[in-house]
Amino acid sequence: MTGQDGTSASPGEPGVTGDLFSPACPTRQLLDRIGDKWTSMLVKVLAEAHPEELGFAQLRRCAPGVSHKMLSQTLQSLRRDGLVTRRVEPAVPPRVYYALTDLGLSLDAPLAVVRTWAERHIATIERARIAFGKEHDRG
């Protein structure tokens, strides 16, 4: 599973590091998790609230369009990865509170960098899309 690429890369090939790119690579898995539709949103919301905890229903309101199921599921993934904590208020009806761990909080900055890039360049990209569309219309 190491250098066995078979082709042993022609001269023009850039550094095929082989670590980030193997499908089994844990970093890849992590990037998939991060790239998940709701993960970045929840991290942002929880980071802004930090160190305040947020209830399930609150989170739901903060992420318009998220279903009951997906929220539950995403939160569990985050919990599993040690990014958020979960606290159950022992009452009737029970309320459950979520917050970022230190690790989860540390993820917000990197994601913010990407968010900023997106906000900064979205206009350019939309223009590119329109231009691309026009280019495609006229055969």
Chain residues that interact with a second copy, rule: CB under 8 A:
5, 7, 9, 12-16, 20-23, 26-27, 30-32, 34-37, 40-41, 44-45, 48-49, 52, 54, 58, 61-65, 79-83, 103, 106-107, 109-111, 113-119, 121-122, 124-129, 131-132
The one of a second copy, DNA, none whose footprint includes residue 121, by CB under 5 to 8 A per kind, is a second copy
Structure tokens at 10: 């022609």
Residue 75 site contact among a second copy, DNA, none (CB < 5 to 8 Å, cut-off depends on kind): DNA
Nearer to a second copy, 94 or 135 (CB): 135
Structure-token pair, residue 137: 């219309």
For residue 96, how many other CB atoms are within 10 A of its CB?
15
Tokens standing for residue 14: 């850039």
Q: Write out the binding residues for DNA, residues 95-134 only, by CB under 7 A.
A: 95-96
The DSSP 8-state label assigned to residue 121 in this structure reads: H
- DSSP annotation of 3: S
- Kindly tell me which of 15 and 94 has the beta carbon lying closer to a second copy: 15
Pick from DNA, a second copy, none: which does 7 bind, CB < 5 to 8 A by kind? a second copy
φ, ψ dihedrals at 87, nearest 5°? -130, 130
- For residue 87, the SS3 value is strand
Q: Which amino acid is at 17?
A: T
